[in-house]
Amino acid sequence: MLGVLGVGAIATAMITGLSEGDNPPDILVSPRSVARATKLAACYPNVRIAASNQAVLEQSDVVLLCLRPSDALKVIPDLQFRDQRVISVMAGMPLGMLRELVAPVQHIARAIPLASVAIRRGVTPLYPAADFARELFNRLGRVIEVADETAFDLFSASTATVAAHFLYLNRISAWLAAHGIAQREAQQYVGAMFAEIASSLHGSELDFAMLMREHATPGGINELFCRVVGEEGVWEAVDKGLDRVQQRLVP
Ligand SMILES: NC(=O)c1ccc[n+]([C@@H]2O[C@H](COP(=O)([O-])OP(=O)(O)OC[C@H]3O[C@@H](n4cnc5c(N)ncnc54)[C@H](OP(=O)(O)O)[C@@H]3O)[C@@H](O)[C@H]2O)c1
C-alpha cells in the first residue's frame, strides 16, 4: 500500500499518473483535503481515503510526504512511524531533518517530481535512488539518479524558475497590450507561441544552445532581442537568482 500525506497539487498529479498507468498500486490518502481526496477516490478504484494521518501510516509500506514543509513540521511530530519506506517531495527539507522527523524510519528518499508526472512524462531527480522510490517514479516517466544531496538541491533550485517563466510571458503580452493589442489576443498569441516551442522540449537529447541558434537567424530579430536583453544583464541576473535560491535551500 502506498500512503500519501497531504493531497495537494503535486500529490494529485502523482496519484493521477499512477492510477491511470499500468497495474495501479493501492493508494491510501490523508483525509484533510476533502474535495481533492474525494474526487480521486471517486475516479480511481485503487484510491481510498484514510480516517486519519496515523491510519495512513499504519496501513502503508511506502509513505509519500507531500505536505508543505511548514505543515510537516507541525503535523509529523505527532505521528508514529515504524519501519515504512518514506519518500519526501518536500522542497528544502534535507535528509538529516527528515531522519529526525520520521524516526525510526531507516529508508528515506527525496524526489523532485514535476507536474508532468500526471501524464507519466515526468523526469524526477531522486536521492538516494532507493529501489522503492525508483520503482514508483519509473511508473511516472523517467528518473534521474542524483549522486549526492548537494546535486539534488541544485535540481531543486532550478524549479524556482517556473513562476519567472510565466512572468516573462506576461511581460511580453503586457507589452503588446500597452501598444494597443487587445489583452486577450495578446495572451492567446504569446501562449500559442510558447506552447508550440514547449512541446519540442520532451526527450533526452536536448541541446538548448543549438535550439537557441536555430531560432536566432544571424542579423534577425531574435538575435537582436537576445543581444539587447543580454547587454542589460538579464542572463547574469538569472544566475544570481539561482545562486540565492541555492543559498536558501542549503544555508
Ligand atoms: N506543486 C509542485 O509542482 C511541487 C513539485 C515538487 C515538490 N513539491 C513539494 O510538495 C509539497 C506540497 O506542494 P503542493 O504544491 O502540492 O502544495 P499544496 O497544493 O498546498 O498541498 C499541500 C496539501 O497538504 C494538505 N495539508 C495541510 N496540512 C495537512 C495535515 N495536517 N494533514 C494532511 N494534509 C495536510 C493541504 O491541505 P490544505 O490546503 O487544506 O491546507 C494541501 O492539500 C511541498 O513541500 C512542495 O515543496 C511541489
160 Cβ below 6 A of ligand 1 = no
Mind giving me the DSSP string for 23-77? Answer: SPPPEEE-SSSHHHHHHHHHH-TTEEE-SSHHHHHHH-SEEEE-S-HHHHHHHGG
Domains of the chain listed by start with CATH number: 2-146 (3.40.50.720), 160-249 (1.10.3730)
pTM: 0.92
Mean per-residue pLDDT for 172-198? 96
pLDDT digits (tens, 9 = 90+) for 4-27: 999 999 999 999 999 999 999 999
pLDDT of residue 143: 97
Q: What is the C-alpha to C-alpha distance for residues 40 and 66, in angstroms, rounded to an integer?
A: 15
Neighbours of 176 (CB within 10 A): 16
Distance in Å, CA 37 to ligand 1 centroid = 13
Confidence of residue 125 (pLDDT cuts 50, 70, 90): very high
- Do residues 103 and 81 make contact, with C-beta atoms less than 8 angstroms apart? yes
32 Cβ below 6 A of ligand 1 = yes
pLDDT of residue 150: 94
Q: What is the C-alpha to C-alpha distance for residues 59 and 54, in angstroms, rounded to an integer?
A: 9
18 Cβ below 6 A of ligand 1 = no
Confidence of residue 68 (pLDDT cuts 50, 70, 90): very high
25 Cβ below 6 A of ligand 1 = no
> Going by CA atoms, what residue is nearest to atom 31 of ligand 1?
75
